[in-house]
Amino acid sequence: MRIVLVDASDAFRARLQQRLSVVPGAAVVGEAAHEDQAVLTAGLCKPDVILTDLTLGSGTGFSAIKRLRAGGFQGTAYAVTTQDESDAGPLCLAAGIDGYYDKVHDLDRLVDALVVIANAPVARAHASLKVAGA
């Protein structure tokens, strides 16, 4: 499973990458701190999964995923954030984000979900992706 991490914090991306080491077949193939970097990185790396914060150095995770979906990304996109789910949840759905995980309390649940995806018998095809809005 090819994963792109999108978060303004280098330290959090490193922590998350370490946590993902228990996911069978998971490989972090790209990282980004800003919206435009996220769109470009995902376009080049063709991930199966994008894990994004919603507040980035410039731009937002909402906009990044919305642009990627418009460009053909069909993989899984999860928000990993500290924003309140009751506020961010509807915006996540509108942007094409598949799930919400709290950075502080839900990392174990996120890893469990990725293990399920990794062990799924369905072969994943890499989506052909054009970069929208870049």
The CA distance from 20 to 28, in Å, is 8
Report the candidate in 6, 23, 26 with the shortest Cα–Cα distance to residue 77: 6
Q: Which domain holds residue 79?
A: 2-118
Q: Name the one residue in this structure whose structure tokens are 């054009």.
A: 130
Considering the domain boundaries, does residue 86 fall inside one?
yes
- Kindly report the backbone phi and psi dihedral angles of residue 49, in degrees, each rounded to the nearest multiple of 5, phi listed first: -135, 140
What is the structure's pLDDT at 9? 97
Of the candidates 21, 25, 1, 134, the one whose C-alpha atom is nearest the C-alpha of residue 76 is 1
Question: Pick the residue with more confidence: 13 or 128?
Answer: 13
Q: Quote the pLDDT of residue 123.
A: 52
- pLDDT at site 85: 85
- Predicted confidence at residue 47, as pLDDT, reads 97
Nearest-CA neighbor of 118 among 2, 7, 6, 24?
24
CATH number at residue 97: 3.40.50.2300
Percent of the chain residues topping a pLDDT of 90: 79
In a domain, 53, yes or no: yes
- Here the tokens at position 57 are 């150095």
pLDDT at 117: 87
Q: Which amino acid, 91?
A: L
Distances (CA, A) of 101 to 44, 50, 51, 56, 107: 25, 13, 10, 16, 7
> Domain for residue 47, yes or no?
yes
The reply to whether 127 falls in a domain is no
The residue among 121 and 11 whose pLDDT is bigger is 11
Mean pLDDT to the nearest integer, 23-38: 96
- Whether residue 39 is contained in a domain is answered as yes
If one counts the domains in the chain, the total is 1
